[in-house]
Chain A
Amino acid sequence: MKTILSTKKETMRDALSKTILRLSEEDENVYVLDGDLATSTKVDIVANENPEKFLQMGIAEQNMMSVASGLATTGLQPWAFTFAAFLSKRAIDQIQVQIAQPNLNVKMVGGYSGLLTGLTGKTHQSLEDIAIFRTLANMVVLAPADSTEVEKVMEFAHQYDGPVYIRLARDAYPVIFSDDYQFELGKAVTLKEGSDVTIISTGTQTSRSLEAAEKLESEGISVAVVHMPSIKPLDKEAIVKAAESTGAIVTAEEHSIIGGLGSAVAETLVEEKPVPMVRVGVRDRNAESGPNEAMLQKYEISSDYVAAAVKKVLKKK
């Protein structure tokens, strides 16, 4: 299923909000756990419209994740919502010991991942969560690219029996997928064909990658864009195929270049099909608070930087 980048923008939060309310209404086992961020993550909709399914856990993320574990052992499906930074760094021991290792049916949604967290800066940005979550055995790690895909991955997570981490962003992004889009665990999605280079992107960097690819096309460079909503399990076959067909890879993610999608792709390429590769991501730096466009430029992850990475990797071919 392919679509071009549309001018219509929607936030992942609004999609999440509608979807979690529906799931909580449809399935008696679905409960929402909030770490006092419901107005930011927008799960306040459940508190307002389906209050008996809303469990306030207070500003205590470690306890929240362990409580989720206990709830799951009684047959419920708890969904824990907070910021990606707090899930991945404050409560990761709880998640590893009591959710991942015992393979319990807990859904973890990290709002405000990446760099653009609404002028909140270093404490609220999350440039490490992919790296941290993907090292946990049993963990599924998903990063949707638009509001449609948010709904689809949440529906998937609801059906799936086991721990799932979903990485979301704060602001509005172009709608990429239409309603008939089918999410498949462990499957890449080719959004644009091309023959010179493949950009493999995830989450919010997918729309920026499409933007870069379209710009490059007008300069005569043929760029494929492969979106990876499923970082774990990873579609290794698609990565190898991209390496074979275009001979050069760029990865793009709103995350540190250490340990994220770029690392995961590099691991696959090194073992299966080494080709020239350039990673786009935050390059081992601490960030700050600032307006979105300025942040993307300063931390070198804007679509211009994706395009520059394509040109750089072409020279290595």
Chain B
Amino acid sequence: MSELLLEERKDLLTKKSIEARKLVVQTVHHAGAGHIGGPMSAIDVLTNLYFNEMNISTEDPNGEDRDRFVLSKGHSAIGLYPVLALRGYFPIEELKTFDAINSRLQAHPDMTILPGLDMSTGSLGQGISAAVGMALGAKLQNKNFRTYCMIGDGESQEGQVWEAADVASKYNLDNLVVILDNNKIQQFGWDAGNQTREIPAFNPKARWEAFGWYVIEIDGHHHEAITNAFSEARNVTGKPTMIIANTVKGKGVSFMENTHNWHSRVPTDEELRQAIQELETEV
């Protein structure tokens, strides 16, 4: 791509990310429920996947050769839904049904009712294994699609994540890219005196390398960095790729950033107004 096109692409991705963040806050406010911090930290990577990286078609959401995405940190569904809506999988209006009875937009993703969802998740630690299954399925059938998956840093405390890491290595799944949304805050966390409340000695880079993965570490809010990481992952052979996306929980709204208090809080009318204002002036 030429410099100009690259700039245009970056602008588009940045714009989409802001729109998506606004929709997250509005939807959670409207529903009176939902997670906020984790979805906000994930938005840039999710936007980049759906508007830049993945080979998908909204006309054929179940196409056999489409790239797959598994939101292993399923509680961030309300981060994914706005991106899917903006991408054209369903009307943006439908976000208003989030968490309502009969809605296709379940609190945690339900692949049986919403087109564009490749896996049902919500119980942490499982999605990454399903993504391993998809990537393995592609290899066994000589298919070229790639599989992407996002996990959380808190989620990484689940032993199953490391079971999956082993098997992905064993089967040389270089068609698998997992993104760690490394916002360093979980629901409540480990140490009340510690501002970041993260697990002691997490060291994701060392851990994933030790499991035989190719590891790239980036600023997860920087579209150029995200795009470059995805391109780099395409050139990796013989091993799966882990992209450690260093992010900010609650990214984009000052009072939501870097605090576990906004893991799943609902903004008041005034907080909503302020959040939208901050997001709009960010451009």
Interface residues of A (CB under 8 A from B): 31, 55-58, 60, 62-63, 65-76, 78, 93-94, 97-98, 101-103
The reply to whether B132 and A97 contact each other, CB–CB distance below 8 Å, is no
| A58–B167 touching, CB < 8 Å | yes
Contacts A63-B132, A94-B126 given; indicate if A103 touches B164 (C-beta within 8 A).
no
Report the interface size for chain B: residues with CB under 8 A from the other chain. Answer: 38
**B49 on the A face (CB < 8 A):** no
Residues of B contacting A72 in the complex (Cβ-Cβ under 8 angstroms): 133
**A-B CB contact pairs (8 Å), 5 listed:** A62-B129, A69-B133, A70-B70, A70-B133, A70-B134
Whether the Cβ atoms of B130 and A70 lie closer than 8 Å is yes
B130→A73 contact, CB < 8 A: yes
Which residues from chain A contact B68 at a C-beta distance below 8 Å?
Answer: 73
Partner of A62, one of B127, B138, B163: B163
The 10 residue pairs across chains A and B that have the minimum distance between CB atoms = A70-B133, A74-B137, A66-B129, A63-B163, A60-B163, A70-B130, A67-B133, A70-B134, A71-B133, A63-B129
Give me 16 other A-B pairs in contact (C-beta within 8 A), A68-B133, A70-B137 excluded: A62-B125, A62-B163, A63-B132, A66-B128, A67-B129, A67-B164, A69-B119, A69-B130, A71-B140, A72-B133, A74-B138, A93-B126, A97-B120, A97-B123, A102-B111, A102-B119
**B99 nearest CB across to chain A (Å):** 18
B122 in the interface (beta carbon within 8 A): yes
Q: With the chains together, A62 CA to B160 CA distance in Å?
A: 6
Q: How far is it, in angstroms, between the C-alpha of A55 and the C-alpha of B137 when the chains are bound?
A: 11
Give B66-99 interface residues, CB cut-off 8 Å to A.
68, 70
Q: Is the CB of B167 within 8 A of A60?
A: yes
Contact partner, B134, options A31, A71, A103, Cβ 8 Å = A71
Q: Are B167 and A98 in contact (CB under 8 A)?
A: no
Of A66, A69, A94, A101, the most chain B CB neighbours within 10 A belong to: A66
CB distance from A41 to the nearest CB of B (A): 19
Please give, as numbers and ranges, the residues of chain A lying within 8 Å of B137 by CB-CB distance. 70-71, 73-76
**Candidate in B70, B119, B137 with the most chain A CB atoms within 10 angstroms:** B137
Chain A, Cβ-Cβ closest to B126: A66
Chain A residues with CB under 8 Å of B120's CB are 97-98, 101-102
Q: Which of B119, B129, B138, B164 counts the most A-chain CB atoms under 10 A from its CB?
A: B129
**Residue among A57, A70, A93 facing the most chain B CB atoms (10 A cut-off):** A70
Which listed residue, B119, B128, B141, B159, touches A75 by the CB 8 Å rule? Answer: B141
Shortest Cβ gap from A315 to chain B (Å): 48
Contacts of B111 in A (CB 8 A): 102
Asked if B112 is at the interface of the complex by the 8 Å CB criterion, the answer is yes
Known: A75-B64, A75-B141. A66 touches B134 (CB 8 A): no
Cβ-neighbour of A103 out of B112, B140, B170 (below 8 A): B112
The one of B118, B130, B133, B166 that contacts A58, using a Cβ cutoff of 8 Å: B166
Task: Select the residue from A62, A67, A97, A102 with max chain B CB neighbours within 10 A.
Answer: A67
Contacts A58-B166, A63-B163, A66-B164; A73 near B141 (Cβ below 8 A): no
Nearest-CB distance from B73 to chain A (Å)? 14
